[in-house]
Structure 1
Amino acid sequence: MTWAAISTWRMSFDGLSEASVLLDKGINAGDAVEKLISIVENNEHYKSVGFGGLPNEEGIVQMDAGFMDGDTFAQGSVASIENVKNAISVARKLSENKTNSFLVGDGATKFAAKNGFEMTNMLTEKAKKEWQGRLSANHQEQLRAYDGHDTVGAVTLDQQGSMAAATSTSGLFMKKDGRIGDSPLSGSGFYADSQVGAAAATGLGEDIMKGCLSYEIVRKMAEGQSPQDACDQALFSFAKTLKDRYGSCDAISLIALNSKGEWGVATNVEFAFCVSDNEHEAKIMIAQQAAKDRTKIFPMTEKWLADYQKRTESTID
């Protein structure tokens, strides 16, 4: 039976590998995507997701996450949630609610505590030192978010034909208290329809939100486009429009699966992603923008992986 999974960035490889094992055993898409995301959230080396995520300008780690069931369109989200080990699990729990399925700030944190989710201080010493260093370097003036706004997004297709999409992020480093990007917003950061396909986004949320790009990809697939064509057309058409009308378009990367297990990726930066299915083991691929509004995709090299590991696990002086 066909199953497939795709996820954003190299950091999701371990999670996607575990999700692949579950999908091969017949586990449902929702359980698989939640497991994939939670593995990334639990790894303190990743500066933009979960435990170890870099804080806002006040030194507080505020996390956003979203989940969508492609069978029912049920979706749950949290934003600016604090001190919760796995924001994705809270978001999925909220997807069970007909109302009150998107909670923010104190309300989201209280819901998590009341419902027995693991609570912990999400600010690691490493992340704290990096925050302190940024404050010192900028003399608390002209603070800029770093470029590594790397949301983990994932899409899964199980053997029963059900699909799910999910995201999790700690957002921009040095962001304003309460800032929320596209990640927890269905239609922008993620969208799933099991009869068609699903998509997820990563990049600068303020730009992704302007185009509702995850929904746009699924809409294009519903019209008969392949996942690759849908991703390329959604990204590059919107990027041109945004540059013309808004003046700029920042980093955006998109992933998608259709209900057949076919995948697509589009990006306007160098972008690593992970993918697997019932016929192929989990692997890491690299995508880059190419000519004529297309995306070039090629296998990861050992040198690229070694450089990535060095950057990810570097210590702060």
Structure 2
Amino acid sequence: MNNWAVISTWNMSYEGLKTSADLLKKGTDAKDAVEKLINQVESNAEYTSVGYGGLPNENGIVQMDAAFMDGNTLAQGSVAAIENVKHAVSVARKLSSNKTNSFLVGEGASNYAMKNGFEMTNMLTANAKKTWQQKVKETHEHDVHPYAGHDTVGAITLDQNGAVTVATSTSGLFMKKNGRIGDSPLSGSGFYADSDIGAAAATGLGEDIMKGCLSYEIVRQMSAGRSPQEACDSAVYSFCKKLKQRYGQVGEISLIALNNKGEWGVATNVEFTFCVADNKHKAQIFTANPAPNNKTQISAFN
């Protein structure tokens, strides 16, 4: 049997990962498999950091960021601060076929989606609106820090032909400033893929992840011969140390990686869940935690 594999961030991606695994097992290409995974997360209103039901910005508007990269061609597409679009990652995938204008933001991204027949809908659910209204009240009355809920869904697929694809989608920081963009749609920071090597994807505080271009750095280290786990540990922990020393603080940072052999790796500075499946193992959720000596401790999710 030819190798195939899929890895994704957070336990919320589990059902989508199982769908993706079934497709890869049947010989579906990596591009379709990763898009289906992300779409399933985007459609679920229970997940408040991605897609429909995502938590809004300071103005009560759900603005989404997403990206898609084909590791065979290095083609990539991104959208940022896109509104009223059910599947931001699908728009990013279509943009990846463009030689120019492959990264669109704000009104331009939303209009592109509408003109090209993507499903448009009000992404603010009643529950998300209620949560936003409560947070506005709390912030006004108690001057509390409003930001929370920035769990990007990122996924990497390896198909039976050896192609690697990566994609991301997020509604970003809850109560973020209007137009704020994190790392998720930014090549090299939130994602990177090269089918000759593998891919990586990030989740966490985008403003800090951007400072290290960590997804590209992990792929670079894999190209130099490091395993995905070695590359993740080396890139993430050394950068977190540097950022704390030079910037004074470091937010939540977690990354996943998959090479073109189907081997995977994860590193994080907080407790972090992720999902994996391949041609030898059924879909499973794991928990990762930072451990001493710049290593990552991984255990089965309970």
TM-score by structure 1 length? 0.94
Write the letter of the residue equivalent to 1:220: Q
Q: Which residue identity is paired with 2:94?
A: K
Residue 143 of structure 1 and its aligned partner are, at CA, apart by 5.7
Q: Equivalent residue for 1:43?
A: 44
Amino acid at match of 2:271: E
| C-alpha deviation, 1:136, in angstroms | 1.0
The match for 1:273 is 274
Kindly indicate whether the alpha-carbon contact (under 8 Å) linking 1:143 and 1:174 is maintained by their aligned counterparts in 2.
Answer: no
Which residue of structure 1 aligns with residue 4 of structure 2? Answer: 3
- Distance in 2, matches of 1:68 and 1:270, equals 27
> Could you say which residue in structure 2 is the equivalent of 1:223?
224
Q: Deviations over 1:156-208 (max 9, x none)?
A: 00000000000000000000000000000010000000000100000000000
User: Structure 2 stretches of 5 or more lacking a match?
Assistant: none
Identity of aligned residues (%): 69
**2:139 touches 2:146 (CA, 8 Å); kept in 1?**
no
> What does 1:237-248 correspond to in 2, within 5 Å?
237-248=238-249
Task: Establish whether residue 180 from structure 1 lines up as the match of residue 185 from structure 2.
Answer: no
Instruction: Assess if the C-alpha contact under 8 Å between 2:89 and 2:169 holds in 1.
Output: yes
Deviation at residue 144 of structure 1 after TM alignment: 2.8
1:94 Cα deviation after fit: 0.1
Deviation at 1:142, TM superposition (A): 4.0
Please tell me the residue identity of whatever aligns with 2:268: T
Asked if structure 2 preserves the Cα contact closer than 8 Å seen for 1:145 and 1:172, the reply is no
Alignment-mate amino acid for residue 13 of structure 1 = Y
The answer on whether the counterparts of 2:147 and 2:176 sit within 8 Å (CA) in structure 1 is no
Look up the match of 1:233. Answer: 234
Specify the alignment match of 1:283 in structure 2. 284
Match of 2:192 in 1: 191
Aligned-residue offset at 1:148: 2.5
Deviation at 1:140, TM superposition (A): 7.1
- Provide the residue aligned with 2:19 in structure 1: 18
- TM-score, scaled relative to structure 2: 0.98
* Contact kept in structure 2, 1:154 and 1:167, CA below 8 Å: yes
Match of 1:154 in 2: 155
Q: Deviations over 1:18-40 (max 9, x none)?
A: 00000000000010000000000
Residue of structure 1 in register with 2:86 after alignment: 85
Alpha-carbon separation, structure 2, partners of 1:217 and 1:203: 16
Aligned to 2:119: 118
Q: 1:107 to 1:259 in 2, by over 3 A?
A: same
Counterpart CA distance in 2 for 1:221 and 1:145 is 38
Partner of 2:76: 75
CA 1:125 to 1:208, structure 2 compared with 1: closer, same or farther past 3 Å?
same
Letter in 1 for 2:200: A
> Would the alpha carbon gap of residues 196 and 32 (structure 1) be closer, same or farther in structure 2, given more than 3 Å must change?
same
- Residue 77 of structure 1 contacts residue 95 of structure 1 at CA under 8 Å; is this kept in 2? yes
Residue identity opposite 1:122 in structure 2: M
Task: Provide the aligned C-alpha RMSD in A.
Answer: 0.9
Distance in structure 2 (CA, Å) of the matches to 1:204 and 1:133: 23
For residues 146 and 253 of structure 2, what CA distance do their matches in structure 1 show? 16
Shift of 1:141: 7.5
Kept in 1, the 8 Å contact 2:66–2:79? The answer is: yes
Q: How many residues align?
A: 301
For residue 59 of structure 1, what is the aligned residue in structure 2?
60
Q: Is the 8 A contact 1:235 1:267 kept in 2?
A: yes
Counterpart of 1:211? 212
CA deviation after TM superposition for structure 1 residue 145, in Å: 3.8
| In structure 2, C-alpha distance between the alignment counterparts of 1:144 and 1:22, rounded to whole Å | 42
CA distance in 2, matches of 1:114, 1:169: 22
Q: Which deviations, in whole Å up to 9, do the C-alpha atoms of 1:114-169 show, x marking residues without a partner?
A: 00000000000000000000011121784634333100000000000000000000
Would the aligned equivalents of 2:149 and 2:172 in 1 still touch at CA under 8 Å?
no
CA distance in 2, matches of 1:196, 1:220: 10
**Secondary structure of 2:245 counterpart:** helix
Q: Which moved more, 1:9-18 or 1:134-143?
A: 134-143
In 2: Cα distance, 1:131 partner to 1:16 partner = 29
State the AA in 2 paired with 1:84.
Answer: V
